[in-house]
Amino acid sequence: MDSPNPKYRSIRKVANLGTIPLLLGVSPLVGLGMGYLLDRWLGTGMILKLVFTGLGFAAGVREMLRLLAQSRRDRDDL
């Protein structure tokens, strides 16, 4: 595959960094939904909701840090 068009490099960077708020908002919600369904299925109260919400938040933060590191590498390549 050919290298990306340099004309659109800054647009791609902004789009990648623009996904960070979405990641931090959606990841815990997905974890909450999974925990809710598992709690109902297993009858465990609300413990799995808390666990999976925390895991979702951690996954969102991890992905945010990965995107920021990638952005730094791209900036250093200029």
Q: Supply the pLDDT for residue 4.
A: 67
- Give the pLDDT band of residue 20 (cuts 50, 70, 90): very high
Residue 74 has pLDDT above 90, yes or no: no
Instruction: Please say whether the beta carbons of 31 and 55 come within 8 A.
Output: yes
Q: pLDDT of 2-19, one tens digit each?
A: 566 777 888 888 888 899
CB atoms within 10 A of CB 27: 21
> The pTM is what?
0.80
What are the residue ranges spanned by the domains of the chain?
Answer: 23-73
Task: Output the CA torsion sign for 51, 39, 36, 66.
Answer: positive
